[in-house]
Amino acid sequence: MGYGMIPMLLAADKEVDFSIHHLLPYKFMGQTVYITTSHVCMFIVIAFIMVFAVIARKKIMHADEIPTGFQNVIEFAVETLQGFVNSSMGTHGKKFMNYVGTLFLFVLLSNISGLFGLRPPTADYGTTFSLALITFVMIQYNNVKYNKFGAVTDLFQPLWFLFPINLIGEIATPVSMSLRLFGNVMAGTVMMALYYGLLPIFAKVGIPAALHVYFDLFSGAIQAYVFAMLTMVFVTQKIEG
């Protein structure tokens, strides 16, 4: 049983196991913290993306006039991402293409990693909140950059005494974004763990495939899309507002 300072979801049963495990303790600023399964799984996801990126770069450096095979796949992916960013950000899309593309790929592969037996890194509130904080900083940076002093006066619109509510509205953005991603992926992880942990052996043949398609592939892809989309919507709102 975990009390108090121990992070949430560590106290699950042995059979139904969807908790974050401590692997390696180390000292950080006087406190004992742990390398957890989230770190390891995130490292695997990042390593996969990096290897893919290096291979893709090598292939594109020696690109053919008429694309074939792997080059086709890379070009299709890049064009799809470009269309996705440009359609929702318009003329501002070019500057944010790199960030949104990276974010989308990372969140997508993190969500899907449950399919390969990893514990999705996005089912850890630390991961999703950091991602949402990056988005929050980007939103506010662009707010100040494009609206100058209007970033402050906007908080007093339409009436001055609505300032606290506007302030809460700004701060709620990263909280709701991170909780949405975390909640969705966590729900999928819990459901799969319950299914594998509580049912007899004959129910675990064949049927989980359909559940994996829904909880890992479909839900994960939708949430990655929504996270990237909301980032773009909020930033565009500030730039044009």
Partner 1 sequence: MSNITNEGLILACSTIGAGLAMIAGIGPGVGQGYAAGQGAAAVGRNPGAKGDIMSTMLLGQAVAETTGLYGLVVALLLMYGNPMLAKFLKL
Q: Interface with partner 1 by CB under 8 A: which residues?
A: 1-4, 8-12, 19, 176, 179-180, 182-184, 186-187, 190, 222-223, 225-226, 229-230, 233
Nearest to 112 by CA among 39, 192, 185, 18: 185
Which uninterrupted H or E stretch holds 79? helix 69-89
Nearer to partner 1 (CB atom), residue 8 or residue 159: 8
CB of 152 to partner 1, least distance (A): 27
Nearer to partner 1 (CB atom), residue 50 or residue 222: 222
CB of 161 to partner 1, least distance (A): 26
Nearest to 97 by CA among 3, 221, 231, 223: 231
Nearer to partner 1 (CB atom), residue 123 or residue 151: 123
CB of 9 to partner 1, least distance (A): 5
Amino acid at 72: N
Nearest to 224 by CA among 118, 133, 100: 100
CB of 11 to partner 1, least distance (A): 5
CB of 193 to partner 1, least distance (A): 12
Nearer to partner 1 (CB atom), residue 176 or residue 237: 176
Nearer to partner 1 (CB atom), residue 143 or residue 184: 184
Is residue 145 helix, strand or coil? Answer: helix
Peptide bond into 164 cis (omega under 30): no
Rounded Cα distance, 43 and 151, in Å: 38
